[in-house]
Structure 1
Amino acid sequence: MKEENPEQLNIPIWAYEAIEIEDANVQWKAQGLRETRELSDLLSKFDIKGAEHIGSTAVPGLPAKPIIDVMIRIESFDMMNATVDTLTAYGWHYVPPELDGKPWRRFFVKVKNDKRVAHLHLMKGTEKRWEEQIEFRDKLRESPLLAKEYGLLKKQLATEFREDREKYTEAKAEFINRALNS
């Protein structure tokens, strides 16, 4: 049986890009603020309840994939069709939950030159992961030692799982859970 090439299936290149961890970039904070503000303005008509720059690019000094992660709290997913239409008009790509594999969020990717530059995680206000994301980010910001340990782990896992984002993410879970429970 012939193996299908992602391009033959009309799957975008960015959906399978390799994991690359870069040294911390002082520009990430400003980029995160800019994306957060732009998305807040763009989605304000949907009665959003909060927006946060999360992930490793939100932690000064932490190596990361050069992708800005923004998390926005919404009341429900009832307006998703209109939200998708709005974001698509501004260059965001919607990854439906059945492809994303995370039914608790709605996920969007911003792409430039066939590479991811930003992720948007829309979550309901009742979602416990909202608080966990903020708590983990803040613990890394408060503890340079914890951030250094996480940075080393990320580099190791990026080498080990360079072509598999799901396994890379899964392999970080133990560290994240340990940090959240400490």
Structure 2
Amino acid sequence: MTDHLQPENWPAWATESVEIVEANPMWNLQAQEEIRQLRELLKQLNIHKFEHIGSTSIPGLPAKPIIDLMGEVQSWEDMDLIADQLNPVGWNYVPPELDGRDYRRFWVRVKDGKRAVHLHLMRPGEERWDRQIHFRDVLRQRPDLVEAYAALKAKLADENKDDREAYTAAKTDFILQVLDEGN
């Protein structure tokens, strides 16, 4: 039996290098289309609340070319039913023991062998839901922060090209500072 917790058994998209590209004005339209499809696929499971988050949701911000979406799910018990809907159209479930984040259930949509969309499913009342939206909304109003974040992301992507987790962790101080300023 294959041990999926071992990195040598992960698919290639799970260990892609960090690549930051110029902002694409089409990202928001792509996100809205993904949300439309998700609503259709998951409507019988009463999953209809979605948000476009992350760097691709902030106009003018260079980013990894991966659309980040959040969706609200009532129960973790629905993952098998969700998988029945999402797996056939290119979504891959990353189990919590691999993801390492108990507050969400994580899905990755792969297109042409690369990550194209992330779906962060969270239960109602999850604090990180509000924090993701708050961070996005503060940056949408503050071009100075977008500029600073773009410079930081470029530097960190260069320093952590082959370590996505280290890249993400290294952005934490900036994100917390923005969240504190925005309150």
TM-score bracket for this pair, using the shorter chain length: over 0.9
Query: How far does the alpha carbon of each residue in 1:127-161 deviate from its partner, in whole angstroms, 9 at most, with x for none?
Result: 10000000000111011111111111111100000
Q: Which consecutive unaligned segments of at least 5 residues does structure 2 have?
A: 1-5
Q: Give the drift of 1:49.
A: 5.0
Q: Give the drift of 1:22.
A: 0.3
Query: How far does the alpha carbon of each residue in 1:47-71 deviate from its partner, in whole angstroms, 9 at most, with x for none?
Result: 1251001110011100000000110
Query: How far does the alpha carbon of each residue in 1:87-112 deviate from its partner, in whole angstroms, 9 at most, with x for none?
Result: 11111000000000001100011111
- The corresponding residue for 1:107 is 106
User: In the alignment, is the contact (CA less than 8 A) between 1:49 and 1:75 conserved in 2?
Assistant: no
Report the secondary structure of 1:181's partner residue.
helix
- The 5 A counterparts of 1:84-99 are 84-99=83-98
CA-atom RMSD, angstroms?
1.3
- The corresponding residue for 1:54 is 53
Q: Give the drift of 1:10.
A: 3.4
If the length of structure 2 is used for normalisation, what is the TM-score?
0.93
Aligned length: 176
Q: Which consecutive unaligned segments of at least 5 residues does structure 1 have?
A: none
Whichever residue aligns with residue 27 of structure 1, its letter is M
Whichever residue aligns with residue 130 of structure 1, its letter is W
- The corresponding residue for 1:120 is 119
Q: Distance in 2 between matches of 1:170 and 1:60?
A: 23
Query: Is 2:41 aligned against 1:42?
Result: yes
If the length of structure 1 is used for normalisation, what is the TM-score?
0.93
Report the secondary structure of 1:42's partner residue.
helix
Whichever residue aligns with residue 76 of structure 2, its letter is F
Q: Distance in 2 between matches of 1:25 and 1:49?
A: 26
Report the secondary structure of 1:25's partner residue.
coil
- The corresponding residue for 1:167 is 166
Query: Is 2:53 aligned against 1:72?
Result: no
User: In the alignment, is the contact (CA less than 8 A) between 1:110 and 1:119 conserved in 2?
Assistant: yes
Q: Distance in 1 between matches of 2:120 and 2:39?
A: 12
Q: Distance in 2 between matches of 1:80 and 1:74?
A: 9
- The corresponding residue for 1:27 is 26
Aligned-pair identity in percent equals: 51
TM superposition outliers: structure 1 runs of 4+ over 4 Å: none
Report the secondary structure of 1:69's partner residue.
strand
